[in-house]
Structure 1
Amino acid sequence: MTTTGAITDAGARGAPAGPWWWARRRSLVLDVVLALVSVIECIFEGIAFAHEVGAPGAVGALAGVPVGGSLLVRRRWPVAVVLVSIAVTPAEMGFLLGVVGLYTLAASDAPRRIIVVLAVVSMAGTLVVAAARFHRDVAQPGYQPGLGAALLFSVVMALGMTAPPLLLGMYVGARRRLVESLRERADGLERELSLLAERAEERAEWARSEERTRIAREMHDVVAHRVSLMVVHAAALQAVALKDPEKASRNAGLVGDMGRQALTELREMLGVLRAKPDGTAGEPAAAQEPERLAAVAAAASARVRGAHRESQAALSASSADGPRLGALADLVGQSRQAGMAVEFSVEGEQRSYAARVERTAYRVVQEALTNVHKHAPGAAARVRVAHREGEVALQVENGPSGGGTDAGLPSGGNGLIGMRERVTALGGVFVSGPTERGGFRVSAVIPDAAQGADASAA
């Protein structure tokens, strides 16, 4: 009895919410019709059985009503329906009840061993009743049917009433469980794709933010350095315009050259900003759910690829056209022309590095010299570049302010931050701070990205 209750509860858990235990109205109508047909059948069979045993026909009719009506609860308690059909098998009642009950039990979530046991008991009861009925109906005075014929008839009847509903119910149950499993997998896939789309959107936003930061850093380096030198030269031009016209003319030419260089670099960066990343338009959502989910994943992936391509395109363009270590001499020469005393030295065997490494090294020296122009006018500076195994080291140091004319250059406080971000992004080390003599020192060690990539590939 405990096992039966457990099976019943298991069947109840699988019952969907609806009118009682029916999911749809047509299921309720079907069960009501089956129950009515079974009640009518059991009433007639109950009356016949009552007459055979010498009982009033009304007793058999009254017994047939609850027996046939038990089909109403076949979806909720399939085990109980099968047990009722087995109980009334000796009375030769409930043909429809037994067939439909076995089918419902086989299609339910009841354990297989319970289904097999009840099916075997039902088949054995049908076998015994069929053998007795065959012997009673076929036997005549002077003729007794053989055991083989009775056994063959009984087996055919038992298998015919048990095997088809049992096999059909097992097939329908397996198909229903498969559909539910596929539906659960589809729901899980939809949740996973939704999460993937959210993460892709976050990554795309992060990529756009990183690209905006990188472009702002490039703009700062170009504008701050070029314009700072232009302002210094303009101040010198103003000071010597009346005293030394020839020097004023040279300074004016330098201002023009630096302004043209600044405009050229700004145009290059603005051209990168105007370039559109390659992308394909998303197809409209299809009617079927799997295609809609695929469209969601494709759109999310396209957003990530678009942001990545945009960042890589801008980075490649700036890396290919950006300054290199070989241009440091010209950079130092520009500061010398602006009146700064700069000592420039290179240690170690010169070699080429990855484009990003050389560009970063150039920008560090450029920004450091710009800071000297801004914050220590008239101070002498020293630029050292050391080529080492697998890395390049930089140091820009200036002494205290030499009392030069302050050009009134504004400072946003982002120079050191930008240098640190550039160096650490390549896995390098950046250190800055005042010196004991009242000056300022900027040091950076940048590993060779190209050599690191070759080592990892090996």
Structure 2
Amino acid sequence: MAGAAMALSAAVSWVKGPNGLLETAPTPILATVSAGVAALLWWRRRWPGAVAVAIMVGYVVAFTPLSLSVAMYTVGTAYRRVRTLVVFAAGAFVADLAGLVAGSSPASGLRDSFYVLALIMGMLVVGYGVGVRHDLATEAKAKAEGLEREQHLLTQHAQAEERARIAREMHDVVAHRVGNIVLSAGALKVSPVAREAPQVAKAAEQIREDGHHALEELREILGVLTPGRAAVRAPYFPQPDASQLASLVEQARGRGQSARLEVNGHPEALPPAVQRAIYRIVQEALTNAAKHAPGAAVDLNVDCRLEGVHVGATNGPSDREAGLELPPSGGYGLAGLTERVELLGGTLTAGPHGDSFRVSAFLPLPS
């Protein structure tokens, strides 16, 4: 802007006759002074008032309406007090009047002075309008950001309340009932019936261990859900990994399931997130087979390759009589597994496979 104003001011000095206090000076000197006055616009953003006053003086000396118009526009964008704007407008009027009095050539006529004054005052008004619009836009943006932050805080508060409500319900209902199951299984283990039937004692111990682990995981989840309990939640216990696949299958066999596990490679050397995903896939497949196809054989395979891990689980149809009451199911197991696998960049499919039901997952490995 400053460079363009310098070039145009110098060009106007050559095209239009001399004016101002330097009307008798040679045109090259007048052009140089006009360009010098326009050069002050370089600092118009940092000191808008001082630059405007200096250019007013330059206007009286060398008739620089273009530079004064830009300076007044900048004053309009920089100041908001009406009194300040009136003072600068009065100064511009005085400068225009002084330029009219100082010049005696036809170029300094009254009509030209009115044109210049209208241009200067118009630019001041335009600058003020632009500044006000910028302030309103900034205020609206700040208000929108404030409302967004407020909405975010309200959402966080609602989420915290919902998590606390879920935690209370889980504690009141699930933890209570699972605790009763653990206590009942412990009592059954030491009962006279268990002493006479070792298989009953073994089954009771299995139920007690499963319930105990379920309570540990439930307490961990409650600690995450309950606000403000991050530092006082239940002690952290090791997360499952691929090294526990064999014990997981052995527990299923202890419950009467016919399960076979085939592992190709070393899944225990994989990243922890991938190991947990493999464990949860195998765990969910065994649980679903036990609920929906009791007595069916389950074939599990984990195949570790360079590009990733393939996990498969296939179970045949149930060999039990129809009409057996199944445990309640919310249908979230496979959906949760799908989300877990997709977060790792993999894919999971589950559905009928002939007379069987198959779960197949692929988990990519980092290069």
State the TM-score bracket (shorter-chain normalisation). Answer: 0.5 to 0.7
Q: Which one of 332, 345, 349 corresponds to residue 414 of structure 1? A: 332
Superposition deviation, residue 407 in structure 1: 5.7
- Deviations for 1:19-61, whole angstroms, at most 9, x for unmatched residues? xxxxxxxxxxxxxxxxxxxxxxxxxxxxxxxxxxxxxxxxxxx
CA contact (8 A) 1:361 1:394 kept: yes
In 1, Cα distance between equivalents of 2:225 and 2:143: 31
Paired letter, 1:413: G
In 2, Cα distance between equivalents of 1:103 and 1:191: 30
2:261 equivalent in structure 1: 344
Matches for 1:6-405 after TM superposition, within 5 Å:
106=92, 122-123=100-101, 127=104, 181-199=130-148, 205=155, 245-276=197-228, 321-403=238-320
Q: What's the secondary structure of 1:262's corresponding residue?
A: helix
Superposition deviation, residue 263 in structure 1: 0.7
In 2, Cα distance between equivalents of 1:201 and 1:369: 46
Amino-acid identity (%):
35
CA contact (8 A) 2:243 2:268 kept: no
2:363 equivalent in structure 1: 446
Superposition deviation, residue 355 in structure 1: 2.8
Identify if the C-alpha distance between structure 1 residues 321 and 242 changes in structure 2 by more than 3 Å, giving closer, same or farther.
closer
- Deviations for 1:274-301, whole angstroms, at most 9, x for unmatched residues? 3539xxxxxxxxxxxxxxxxxxxxxxxx
CA contact (8 A) 1:344 1:384 kept: yes
Q: What's the secondary structure of 1:256's corresponding residue?
A: helix
Paired letter, 2:255: A
CA contact (8 A) 1:393 1:444 kept: yes
Superposition deviation, residue 123 in structure 1: 3.1
CA contact (8 A) 1:378 1:404 kept: no
Superposition deviation, residue 384 in structure 1: 0.7
In 1, Cα distance between equivalents of 2:127 and 2:89: 18
Q: Which one of 320, 332, 346 corresponds to residue 428 of structure 1? A: 346
Q: What's the secondary structure of 1:322's corresponding residue?
A: coil
Paired letter, 1:410: P
Identify if the C-alpha distance between structure 1 residues 402 and 178 changes in structure 2 by more than 3 Å, giving closer, same or farther.
same
CA contact (8 A) 2:284 2:333 kept: yes
Q: What's the secondary structure of 2:361's corresponding residue?
A: strand
Superposition deviation, residue 408 in structure 1: 3.2
In 1, Cα distance between equivalents of 2:135 and 2:249: 64
Paired letter, 1:429: T
CA contact (8 A) 1:357 1:426 kept: yes
In 2, Cα distance between equivalents of 1:379 and 1:332: 14
CA contact (8 A) 1:106 1:173 kept: no
In 1, Cα distance between equivalents of 2:271 and 2:312: 20
Q: What's the secondary structure of 2:201's corresponding residue?
A: helix
In 1, Cα distance between equivalents of 2:290 and 2:359: 14
Identify if the C-alpha distance between structure 1 residues 103 and 404 changes in structure 2 by more than 3 Å, giving closer, same or farther.
closer
- Deviations for 1:109-156, whole angstroms, at most 9, x for unmatched residues? xxxxxx97x986x437x859xxxxxxxxxxxxxxxxxxxxxxxxxx9x
Identify if the C-alpha distance between structure 1 residues 200 and 346 changes in structure 2 by more than 3 Å, giving closer, same or farther.
farther
CA contact (8 A) 2:267 2:275 kept: no
TM-score (norm 2): 0.54
Q: What's the secondary structure of 2:360's corresponding residue?
A: strand
1:147 equivalent in structure 2: none
Paired letter, 2:223: G
Superposition deviation, residue 352 in structure 1: 2.8
Identify if the C-alpha distance between structure 1 residues 176 and 352 changes in structure 2 by more than 3 Å, giving closer, same or farther.
farther
The root-mean-square deviation of aligned C-alpha atoms, in Å, is 5.0
Identify if the C-alpha distance between structure 1 residues 243 and 444 changes in structure 2 by more than 3 Å, giving closer, same or farther.
same
Q: 405-414 or 173-182, which moves further after superposition?
A: 173-182
Paired letter, 2:203: N
Identify if the C-alpha distance between structure 1 residues 275 and 103 changes in structure 2 by more than 3 Å, giving closer, same or farther.
closer
5+ unaligned residues in a row in structure 1: which ranges?
1-99, 108-114, 129-154, 278-309
In 1, Cα distance between equivalents of 2:149 and 2:307: 36
In 2, Cα distance between equivalents of 1:207 and 1:418: 25
Paired letter, 1:387: C
1:10 equivalent in structure 2: none
Identify if the C-alpha distance between structure 1 residues 208 and 103 changes in structure 2 by more than 3 Å, giving closer, same or farther.
closer
Aligned length: 252
CA contact (8 A) 2:341 2:347 kept: yes
Superposition deviation, residue 337 in structure 1: 0.6
